[in-house]
Amino acid sequence: MKLNNIRKLNIEEEILLEELVHRSIKVISPDWKNGLLVASLEDGGMGSLALFPCDTFNKVRHFGSQVSECQFRDTDGVLVVASLYLDEDDKLYELDMWKVDFSKLINIHTHFEDVEYSNK
């Protein structure tokens, strides 16, 4: 995916990442926010971000593992699933957001729930 506009986290993104870091199955450094930059990914406006901890911006990095996920409802009531990925060195790599109807994200809400799976 193409990267757009390198920047700092906004407050909604930071709250969501705090939740995902808290839920992580791997230990993430408590100073993960220090120097963190992000870039929006071209995902149709669903809010996914490439994550660049302070010492990784100009390095070639590769996907390592998914370490957490949660879900929330957007303002329009549509479910959004958020997943946190680390790179091969266990550093923050990507925040993947999937709005289940593929529409654009309106807001990141702060009521997060466990992801529910169904075979229906």
The three-state DSSP-derived secondary structure of the chain is CCEEEEECCCHHHHHHHHHHHHHCCCCCCCCCCCCCEEEEECCCCCCCEEEECCCCCCCCCCEEEEEEEEEEECCCCCEEEEEEEEECCCCEEEEEEEECCCCCCCCCCCCCECCCCCCC
Q: Which of 48-52, 90-94, 115-119 has the lowest mean pLDDT?
A: 115-119
**pLDDT average, residue stretch 41-47:** 88
Domain boundaries, the chain: 3-56+64-99
**pLDDT per residue as tens digits for the range 15-36:** 999 999 999 999 999 999 999 9
**pLDDT average, residue stretch 41-46:** 88
Share of the chain above pLDDT 70, in %: 94
**pLDDT average, residue stretch 103-110:** 94
Give this prediction's pTM: 0.90
